[in-house]
Homo-oligomer: A and B are copies of this chain.
Amino acid sequence: VRYPAQQKAETHDKILATAARSFREHGAESNGIGSVMKELGLTKGGFYRHFESKDDLLAEAVNFAFKQMGDHMTEAARSAPPGRELQAMIDRYLSLEHVNSPGAGCVVAALGTEFSRQPLAIRKRINRSLSQYRERLLAFVPGRTLEEKRQRFALLFASMSGVLMNARANADPKAREELLIAARVFFTEAFT
Binding site for B on A (CB under 8 A): 26-27, 29-30, 102, 108-117, 120, 123-124, 126-127, 130, 151, 154-155, 157-172, 175, 178-179, 182-183, 186, 190
Contacts and interface: CB of A to CB of B under 8 A. Distances in A.
Contacts of A160: 159, 162
Q: How many of these chains are in the complex?
A: 2
B29 A116 contact: no
A163 B162 contact: yes
Most buried by B among A113, A130, A175: A113
Contacts of A172: 127
Contacts of A186: 155, 190
Contact of A163 (B127, B158, B170, B183): B158
